[in-house]
A and B are shown apart, each in its own frame.
Chain A
């Protein structure tokens, strides 16, 4: 006798209803299990896509490290990462943040983008879900959200250098070369650019204090295609140093026009535009000698608290497996995972947001980007990291076309200085 599997309309309906009920409320069902859910927001597309270029690779490494789960307070938790692309867009950041916090019910939010960290910081404070962010001067993150170093925030944390620290490296770079101390500056007009160009606390004030006179090139908009006005103004005033802030396309347009109009300064130190090797490669031979603030290089003497890798080993692994050159965000996105996992482990109860929040606030660990110290920081919810100064130099048959040479380390004494800054006329 054959027994038939009976599927009546009624039983089918009740089964599907139960199944779809499970699907509709994943956070409720999963909260009971021992699983930690970590949200990760980064820019994988849009104008800042280069900042997130190494993140899919990095996440793969961290997933492999945590595939057997984390043992916290005697319990083993499985770990799930949910990566979301904010498309370099603040509105999109808010919607993916909403999705991760409300629908996915993450236990911790890691944010590797300034725009996203401003948008999701508020959500994390309101929803009571701890978040850690990086890659954005802490002043923009804190003052932009209407708080102060004394006040802080309930659940959102960040670690990065300050705009004043980064700008402070510039005059120290110029002090190393012989110039007439006349500086031409121009800035991209966004929140970071406004902070950098602020006459009281930004680069103009820092330059004046260091004894440099300033030729104001103004602020420019994103779509600007022509910088001949700045070039002729700087040239007429015989400026020997050019500085400011902007993205690689801005600098390459400016620099080509400077060449065409016969303006040849001795130093070019431009925040934002020289972070990535690809931006220097895009300048061709004329990229030699560009100087910049340095967040992280493979030469920093730090090790990962997750893998024990040195900075050089991390960069090597990335280069071998991706075929691309190392980028400065590599160290920071690694450190973001380090701080996140360290806080979860230290909390004793990763499913309890208040325990995780307290663990972040008490954190003081050595990471891939150096010490990240929330516990001893005078600024609430902020751990200030080191920043150095460096100059891109053409290599003679190395692995890469250009290498970043550290030339200034006043705020990052553990990073060794490799050479003094050379004037552009000597580099040709």
Chain B
């Protein structure tokens, strides 16, 4: 019985992890850059939600799309104003730039909101549970998992079966060549960064409902996001989901057996994957 609880906690935590990783993996897949500011985008999403709720008490179903759209705009602006300027053959300038953005974003959040711990109070949803008495299941973690799977599905359809998705895939394959077909690759990059920021923001809102965050919480999420995409592998959207769920399960099972282990077994999983299957659980081999 207790193992069912553990399994459920692991899967729901993994769902959140997968969502941290999804936006990062999208950026990496399309632009081939590692966005160091991804953790700050997650936290900025949470703080945008706090700001909206402080101004006017909107219900959750309205808050989620508002924050998503707001952070899409932030991501779009960030890419077109800053990151696009440094894209090139050298991977170092974007790395340094996003690192700089992460520091600026952190301090900006402290300046605006203070260093307090903040959380989003989901009201009755916080402790709502469904299921039989012998196996109560929290509605919030269950909802998080379902929302994550739905988002993965939507992005899968978006990339695989729409005109926009074809353009993104083509840009990812050869950003120079798509220009010949009238595609403005910088605009494509900006939209992709917007989508990535929007996904990060959703993850941030869900995190703020599950726990509480400070402006300094971004770094830990970035680490999780990187582990998710390394464990899952690159090349497919679903790989991130698999990576997230695997990491979440390993964390929760190790917390149960050895509470003091922290993220140790997650890191060990990462190492084992790197040793025996460097392309990740579901990634395809990249030869270059």
Docked complex Cα distance between A366 and B107 (Å): 38
The residues in B between 162 and 194 inclusive whose CB is less than 8 angstroms from any CB of A are none
CB of B102, distance to nearest CB on chain A (Å): 14
* B138 CB contact (under 8 Å) in A45, A218, A260, A282: A260
User: Which of B115, B223, B260, B262 has the most chain A CB atoms closer than 10 A to its own CB?
Assistant: B115
CB of A419, distance to nearest CB on chain B (Å): 26
The 8 closest A-B pairs by CB, nearest first: A221-B262, A260-B138, A259-B127, A49-B115, A218-B259, A284-B121, A228-B9, A282-B119
Q: Which residues of A contact B (CB under 8 A)?
A: 44-47, 49-50, 53, 186, 189, 217-230, 232, 236, 247-249, 252-253, 256-257, 259-262, 276, 278-279, 282-286, 324
User: A45–B212 contact, CB under 8 A?
Assistant: no
User: A278–B127 contact, CB under 8 A?
Assistant: no
User: B252–A222 contact, CB under 8 A?
Assistant: no
Residue of A nearest to B254 (CB): A229
Residue numbers in B under 8 Å from A252 (CB-CB): 117, 119, 211-212
Q: Mark B240-283, 1 if CB is under 8 A from A, else 0.
A: 00000000100110011011111110000000000000000000
Q: Does B34 contact A (CB under 8 A)?
A: no
User: B117–A50 contact, CB under 8 A?
Assistant: yes
Residue numbers in B under 8 Å from A46 (CB-CB): 216
Q: Mark B120-153, 1 if CB is under 8 A from A, else 0.
A: 0101001111000000111111000000000000
Given A220-B259, A229-B259 in contact, is the A253-B211 Cβ separation under 8 Å? yes
Residue numbers in A under 8 Å from B110 (CB-CB): 45, 49
User: B216–A49 contact, CB under 8 A?
Assistant: yes
User: A260–B216 contact, CB under 8 A?
Assistant: no
Residue numbers in A under 8 Å from B156 (CB-CB): none
Q: Does B116 contact A (CB under 8 A)?
A: yes
**Could you show 7 A-B contacts with beta carbons less than 8 Å apart?**
A50-B117, A219-B260, A222-B262, A228-B9, A260-B127, A260-B136, A260-B137
Docked complex Cα distance between A368 and B16 (Å): 46
User: B118–A219 contact, CB under 8 A?
Assistant: no
Q: Taking chain B's interface residues, is the majority helix, strand, or loop, or is none over half, making it mixed?
A: helix
User: A279–B117 contact, CB under 8 A?
Assistant: yes
CB of B71, distance to nearest CB on chain A (Å): 21
Q: Does B237 contact A (CB under 8 A)?
A: no
Docked complex Cα distance between A401 and B115 (Å): 19
User: A226–B255 contact, CB under 8 A?
Assistant: yes
Residue of A nearest to B114 (CB): A53
Docked complex Cα distance between A49 and B211 (Å): 18
Docked complex Cα distance between A230 and B255 (Å): 9
CB of A1, distance to nearest CB on chain B (Å): 58
Docked complex Cα distance between A218 and B262 (Å): 11
Q: Does B6 contact A (CB under 8 A)?
A: yes
Known A226-B251, A232-B6, A261-B129; 11 more pairs at CB < 8 Å: A45-B110, A49-B216, A218-B258, A224-B262, A226-B9, A227-B255, A229-B6, A232-B5, A257-B138, A259-B126, A276-B116
* B255 CB contact (under 8 Å) in A222, A224, A276: A224
Residue numbers in B under 8 Å from A286 (CB-CB): 126-127
Docked complex Cα distance between A260 and B119 (Å): 17
* A261 CB contact (under 8 Å) in B114, B116, B138, B255: B138
Q: Does B84 contact A (CB under 8 A)?
A: no
CB of B135, distance to nearest CB on chain A (Å): 10
Given A45-B110, A248-B117 in contact, is the A226-B13 Cβ separation under 8 Å? yes
User: A249–B217 contact, CB under 8 A?
Assistant: yes
Residue numbers in A under 8 Å from B260 (CB-CB): 189, 218-221
Q: Does B286 contact A (CB under 8 A)?
A: no
CB of A227, distance to nearest CB on chain B (Å): 8
Residue numbers in B under 8 Å from A229 (CB-CB): 6, 252, 255-256, 259
Residue numbers in A under 8 Å from B137 (CB-CB): 260
Docked complex Cα distance between A255 and B25 (Å): 32
CB of A364, distance to nearest CB on chain B (Å): 35
Docked complex Cα distance between A257 and B16 (Å): 15
CB of B3, distance to nearest CB on chain A (Å): 10
Docked complex Cα distance between A160 and B13 (Å): 39
Q: Does B220 contact A (CB under 8 A)?
A: yes
Residue numbers in B under 8 Å from A224 (CB-CB): 255, 262-263
User: B259–A278 contact, CB under 8 A?
Assistant: no
